[in-house]
Amino acid sequence: MKYLIDTHVLIWHGENNPTLKPSVLSILNDLQNEIFVSHASLWEIAIKTSLGKLKLGFPMTRLENVLIGNGFTLLAFDFSHYEFLSNLPFHHNDPFDRMIIAQSMAENLDIITHDEKFKLYPVSIVWT
């Protein structure tokens, strides 16, 4: 299966946060699954850290190790993603979440998230 993880899932995974359910960890750790991380998540972490709105439990440079060490793939933006983004209804105003939702729709990826607002969009949510 192919999954796109939300920003908080990436952070929790990097921090070994017990909030991640064992079933979600199982998906993330299963080498048969392809796990994608949006560039929007990295932008969100960098911006919110610099504004003091987010305090990571590890240095920003560790994110690269988290991505590589877990075999996660960075998902850059292409024009199909922007097309979906430009047509998304404003059920949710968080620009980073909207980018992740648009990528999920364009790439037909399930999103691993605990964020209930994602359910307002026609995407498949995983939080078992």
Percent of the chain's residues with pLDDT above 90: 84
CA atoms of 5 and 72, how far apart (whole Å): 10
Q: For position 94, what pLDDT does the model report?
A: 94
Q: For position 128, what pLDDT does the model report?
A: 61
Counting DSSP H helices and E strands in the chain, the numbers are 6, 5
The third-level CATH classification (topology) of the domain covering 2-126 is Rossmann fold (3.40.50)
CA atoms of 8 and 112, how far apart (whole Å): 10
Detail the DSSP E strand segments found in 1-128.
Answer: 2-5, 34-38, 73-75, 110-112, 125-126
Q: What does the domain layout of the chain look like in residue ranges?
A: 2-126
What's the pLDDT tens digit per position in 45-64? Answer: 999 999 999 998 888 888 88
Q: For position 92, what pLDDT does the model report?
A: 86
The model's confidence at residue 90, banded by pLDDT at 50, 70 and 90, is very high
Full DSSP string of 12-78 = HHHHT-TTS-HHHHHHHH-TTSEEEEEHHHHHHHHHHHHTTS---SS-TTHHHHHHHHTT-EEE---
The model's confidence at residue 37, banded by pLDDT at 50, 70 and 90, is very high
State yes or no: pLDDT of 23 exceeds 70.
Answer: yes
Specify the DSSP class assigned to residue 108.
T
State yes or no: pLDDT of 66 exceeds 90.
Answer: no
